[in-house]
Amino acid sequence: MLHDYRTATLSETQLSLAHTLDCGQCFRWIPSPDGTWEGVVRGSLYRLGQNALSDPSCRIYTDPVLRDYFDVDTDYLDIRNELSGLDGHLAEACRFAPGIRILRQEPWEALCSFIISQNNNIKRIRQIIERLSGRYGVPVAGTSRNAFPTADALAKASDDELRALGTGFRAPYLLDAANNIASGRIVLDELAALPVGQARARLMEIRGVGPKVADCALLYGLHRLEVFPIDVWMKRVMSRHYPDDDVSRFGRFAGIAQQYLFHLERTGVGISHDASVARAEDLEERHGHGRTS
């Protein structure tokens, strides 16, 4: 062990707030013009700035909730070294935004967030989650924001009420998830002890939870780092860089690999040579002869 992780601070390449909080794994952090981020974690409001992380007394290190949430005690340098050895494109993704971490979000919030995410865009996912919290969440004292609603609170909502907040066809999915959790038929914390395949199958008993949403709940909510959620962006990554479609190559940290690859694919245009070439090909295809296909 090279560091004492109980006292060491994290540099920006070990924890970048901007990359971690805006890479599509969480939806409740809001950037301010002064560069700080405001978010609600387990019922408390936090405002954090990158500069403060160089101080060992920063709450990220001293507050047990934040220390756990940001997974401070995991060494991402080791993980990136392991992933970077797998192939060149993954190494580039690790280099592109090394400060990304997989947060330890609340399982119920992660499950709901990714139910809402289906056939949706990240901006609108944020809006819907904020409206849900505003309507059904407990207010955070002294602030203008609310905690994410409990399953009990959501279970009491009606289909029409949820649709009025813009959830659309996902309203019955949220209700089925809320009923399963509120009734205790599914206990998310217990899924953490199951083999990943069994945990995944339990999650998929919920209406509106398929393989992708289940994997996101497992990765972001239950911190199962071996799962590899595949969405439309990752399908592009796979077809372009891993045409054999074999995800077992990514190993025990596949979920972290996925997050680096996802972020590079979504935001790396113009920086990554591969991505910009592929982007140009996409544009040519669309504007040229893509209308009929």
Partner DNA sequence: CACCAGGCAGTGC
Partner DNA sequence: GCACTGCATGGT
287 is an interface residue for DNA by CB under 7 A: no
Report the helix count and the strand count for the chain, using DSSP H and E. 16, 3
x/- binding map, residues 7-46, to DNA, per CB under 7 A? ----------------xxx---------------------
x/- binding map, residues 49-88, to DNA, per CB under 7 A? ----------------------------------------
CB of 138 to DNA, least distance (A): 25
> 48 - beta bridge partners?
37
Q: In the window 203-262, what residues touch DNA (CB under 7 A)?
A: 204, 207-214, 216, 229-234, 258-259, 262
Q: How far apart are CA 129 and CA 167, in angstroms?
A: 9
Compute the CA torsion angle 192, 234, 121, 115 (nearest 10 deg). -30
By the 8 A CB rule, do 83 and 94 touch?
yes
SS3 272: strand
| R_g of the chain, CA atoms, integer Å | 20
Phi, psi dihedrals of residue 204, rounded to the nearest 5°: -75, -5
Q: Per CB under 7 A, which region of 32-40, 45-53, 110-118, 188-196 contacts DNA?
A: 110-118
CB of 215 to DNA, least distance (A): 8
Closest CA to 174 of 123, 138, 120: 120
Candidate list 44, 118, 179, 267; residue touching DNA; CB under 7 A: 118
x/- binding map, residues 160-199, to DNA, per CB under 7 A? ---x--x-xx------------------------------
By the 8 A CB rule, do 109 and 221 touch?
yes
| Residues at the site binding DNA, with contacts judged by CB under 7 A | 23-25, 114, 117-125, 163, 166, 168-169, 204, 207-214, 216, 229-234, 258-259, 262, 266, 291
